């Protein structure tokens, strides 16, 4: 466990640790995807991040039960395309209300592979009474548009852009935020910028070290 000011990072298994940490106002997660890492045709060599996704087991989905409406005021959960039906069915009736929101990538991979161009990443925001979305009218738009991060950023295949995370952290209500699948700490950086108190869990020690560095830098900058 590492403390950075009021923020706490754990290098641990989220399924074991998360229930022990109790209630947070907001749970923001970008969990492992359900994604086909094989195939890809002639463009496969331009998608080396798929190899890393497979090697790190980020293509095997996640146990939906980690989302517990008794342990959070609201949840934001990113869904890869093939996860939508399962996550949607799990959330059905679990929270007071929900919205499906979209990150539209301005520079999507130029592939379709017998499907559609992967220009959209979807996420659900579901909330209990009293934890409805916040922000200006511009913040409360369901679509956020920006480029993806460069693949070399932070040696992680799925780092979310600042624009997307800053918007989400302006939308979630309350002061305390947890990300049980923290990766390189993108949620934590945006949480600090939004003036919230962050807790993160990541089981991969390499990504955990990156998260410490990013969140320490964000905390230092916030206190300058």
> Contacting ligand SAM (CB under 6 A), which of 14, 126, 192, 194?
14
CA dihedral 94, 95, 98, 101 (to 10 degrees): -70
| Per-residue exposure over 91-110, b if at least 16 CB sit within 10 Å of its own CB, e if not | beeebeebeebebebeeebe
User: Residue 158 or residue 218: which is nearer to ligand SAM going by CB?
Assistant: 158
Non-local (6+) Cβ contacts of 126 within 8 A are: 69, 74, 75, 77, 91, 94, 95, 97, 98, 99
Binding flag, residue 144, ligand SAM (CB under 6 A): no
Residues 6+ apart with CB under 8 A from 35: 50, 53, 58, 59, 80, 82
Question: Which of 202, 212, 215, 218 touches ligand SAM by CB under 6 A?
Answer: 202
Joined tokens for residue 162: 């600042």
What is the contact mask toward ligand SAM in residues 124 to 143, using x (rule: CB under 6 A)?
--------------------
- Cβ-proximal residues to 17 (8 Å cutoff; 6+ apart), any chain: 10, 180, 201
Minimum CB–partner distance for residue 202 and ligand SAM (Å): 5
186 binds ligand SAM (CB under 6 A): yes
Asked if 156 interacts with ligand SAM (CB under 6 A), we say: yes
Please identify the residue of the shown chain whose CB is closest to the bound ligand SAM.
183
Q: Closer to ligand SAM at the Cβ: 25 or 30?
A: 30
What is the smallest separation between the CB atom of 42 and ligand SAM, expressed in angstroms? Answer: 26
Q: Is 58 in the site for ligand SAM (CB under 6 A)?
A: yes
How large is the greatest C-alpha to C-alpha distance in the chain, in angstroms? 51
Q: Residue 184, interface with ligand SAM (CB under 6 A)?
A: yes
Q: Which of 201, 212, 215, 218 binds ligand SAM (CB under 6 A)?
A: 201
Confirm or reject binding of residue 73 to ligand SAM (CB under 6 A): no
Q: Is 200 in the site for ligand SAM (CB under 6 A)?
A: no
Give the separation between CA 136 and CA 198, rounded to whole angstroms: 22
Using CB under 6 A as the binding rule, whether residue 199 contacts ligand SAM is answered as: no
Q: Please give the residue ranges that form the binding site for ligand SAM (CB under 6 A).
A: 13-15, 30, 32, 56, 58, 156, 158-160, 181, 183-184, 186, 201-204, 207
């Amino acid at each position: 466990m590492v403390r950075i000011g009021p923020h706490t990072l754990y290098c641990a298994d989220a399924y074991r640790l998360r229930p022990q940490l109790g209630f947070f106002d907001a749970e923001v997660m970008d969990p492992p995807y359900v994604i086909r890492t094989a195939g890809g045709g002639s463009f496969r060599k331009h998608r080396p991040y798929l190899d890393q996704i497979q090697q790190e087991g980020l293509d095997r989905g996640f146990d939906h039960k980690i989302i517990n409406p008794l342990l959070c005021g609201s949840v934001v959960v990113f869904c890869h395309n093939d996860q939508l039906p399962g996550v949607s069915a799990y959330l059905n009736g679990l929270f007071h209300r929900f919205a499906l929101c979209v990150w539209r990538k301005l520079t999507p991979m130029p592939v379709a592979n017998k499907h559609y161009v992967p220009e959209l990443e979807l996420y659900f925001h579901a909330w209990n009474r009293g934890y409805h979305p916040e922000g200006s009218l511009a913040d409360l738009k369901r679509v956020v548009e920006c480029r993806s991060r460069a693949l070399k950023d932070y040696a992680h295949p799925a780092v979310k852009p600042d624009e997307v995370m800053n918007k989400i952290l302006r939308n979630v209500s309350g002061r305390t935020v947890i990300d049980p699948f923290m990766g390189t700490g993108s949620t934590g950086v945006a949480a600090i910028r939004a003036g919230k108190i962050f807790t993160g869990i990541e089981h991969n020690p390499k990504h955990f070290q990156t998260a410490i560095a990013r969140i320490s830098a964000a905390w230092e900058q916030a206190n300058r």
